[in-house]
Chains A and B, each alone.
Chain A
């Protein structure tokens, strides 16, 4: 019986090829859009999450310079006011995990015939802990190197790729601003940061070396910023307050005076970014779902036309003994068949579309079996939901009226 009805539904669909196809098109577009949008949304979310986790957890950045000056916003860190002893003092506070003073700059780096312009970061070995960054080979420079301001360097993957190609960089000498530096370690790959920078395009040197030998004019005993890692997420607020007090004291800032530093809670910013990404992804899904709804209304529309057109046929079926549920099932199956075939094609189109987006627009897309299954499930529900009213209308027909219908 069910096979007979399926075949009948199929025949009815074929009998009105063009119309069935156009109705399916609505479902195809709807399901396809849901698949593409959720793949792109999930992909974007994944990128954000990866770069957040690559940043290190429970982080603060203490920046040199005031945030505002007479109402106008000044570039933070424009005039370095933080010192290495500030960093050391912060490290003494309770609930602090690790502290890394940062003195960054850019410079041309030369190895043999190759040269490369990159970011040089002067810091301490704690920088690796704070950034949750591991070494691929070699070892980190030590506190002794920091004390002695030695010319040693740890290089990122992009530097390896551009300067060394297939050579092993450990122990090699590179030249930064004419002076030779020995490479002691190579960092693992980190990928892009939240704002799209290549985090691997960097060289780490002792902070003192950066201050005295590389960017001497810029930092006279000062650093641009201090990265601080709290022991746990719960202690972030407490830590922020303690640092505030400490730096007020150390910099002798009176209560109503302007700070010459600012503290940023990266964890909060990361959470906000993750939230934004999630909302974006949900919005994309919601917008796509509207086209699914429109597809469903298309099915309802066509099924209503079909039921009206086939009133006489329905009358004949009822006259020879079809029960209400037989007619109901017949038209539900037709609606379901259209929506399921449409959504199957829609899934293929959606996957294809997302792959094209990935390939030609270098978007990151991620398919979850969940998104595909739910698109399919929703399509089935759309078919049943929007097919139900027309089917019920058919099933409730009065035989004599249906038979008389011209």
Chain B
């Protein structure tokens, strides 16, 4: 197993609708190194979310090969996929997707429940994670008692709680103002640089994408081109 996190070959995805078959992803080839920070950009409807969902094992491709962490994902059954989502992937959504009925600590600890970690350890780790994302003391709050930026931090904490190798974030700053967006991006950047976690994120904003190392542009279900960000160019110099 090399340091390649994601390897995709000729990946396709099509939906059958009443208007016939719609090809959304039309042959994507992509390799992502471990430790990469990749931003995906492209027009609305170009297939970015579709790609992310496949990467996150939430959806199955129609064709092609997808290897994650050296494992061919198509060969995995439902339980193994659930285990992958639990242990290897952390997903951050545009709409936060926290459970409203639970406290923030319980929200963050939920993946550990499904990983079979005992209660005390769960709470300990969730509280530590809460501090890491800058929300110390908010443990007993509920999602509707905090701001959107804070909710997204909680969602990131939940994505990180089980030490994933890969963070997937689909427009994580889409619902946030510029300043809060920058704070969130600083957090991703830190996770990538200091913890070495691979991050893939979808965004429509170029200055958000600049926090990444590379940008890929998707057009009509295909990768148009790939380029290093300004920041990467500076580092490389």
Chain A interfacial positions (CB closer than 8 Å to B): 1, 3-4, 11-12, 15, 312-313, 316-324, 326, 399-400, 403
Contact = CB atoms under 8 A, between A and B. Distances in A.
Main SS at interface, chain A: helix
B58 to A, nearest CB: 5
Interface stretch (B75-83, B145-153, B171-179, B213-221): B75-83
29 contacts: A4-B113, A11-B101, A12-B101, A312-B97, A313-B99, A316-B98, A316-B99, A317-B110, A318-B82, A318-B85, A319-B85, A319-B91, A319-B97, A320-B85, A320-B111, A321-B83, A321-B87, A321-B111, A321-B114, A321-B115, A321-B162, A322-B82, A323-B114, A324-B78, A399-B58, A399-B59, A400-B59, A403-B58, A403-B93
Given A320-B86, A322-B82, 13 more contacts: A4-B119, A12-B101, A318-B82, A319-B56, A319-B91, A320-B110, A320-B111, A321-B111, A323-B114, A324-B79, A399-B59, A400-B59, A403-B93
A403 B114 contact: no
B101 A323 contact: no
Given A12-B101, A323-B114, A400 B119 contact: no
A322 B116 CA distance: 10
A326 B58 contact: no
Interface string B94-135: 000111010000000011011110010000000000000000
Contacts of B180: none
A322 B101 CA distance: 17
B58 A322 contact: no
A1 B58 CA distance: 24
Interface string B39-74: 000000000000001001011000000000000000
A316 B93 CA distance: 10
Nearest to B82: A323
Task: In the A-B complex, list the 4 residue pairs whose CB atoms are closest, starting with the nearest.
Answer: A321-B86, A400-B59, A321-B114, A399-B58
Contact of A3 (B82, B85, B87, B119): B119
A205 B113 CA distance: 85
A197 to B, nearest CB: 65
Contacts of B110: 317, 320
B114 A320 contact: yes
Q: Interface centre among B82, B87, B91, B158, by most A CB within 10 Å?
A: B82
Given A320-B91, A323-B114, A403 B79 contact: no
A404 to B, nearest CB: 9
Nearest to B93: A403
Contacts of A326: 114
B101 to A, nearest CB: 6
B87 to A, nearest CB: 7
A398 to B, nearest CB: 8
Contacts of A400: 53, 58-59
Q: Which of B79, B91, B119 counts the most chain A CB atoms within 10 A? A: B91
A322 B158 CA distance: 14
A319 B101 contact: no
Contact of A319 (B58, B87, B113, B119): B58
A73 B46 CA distance: 97
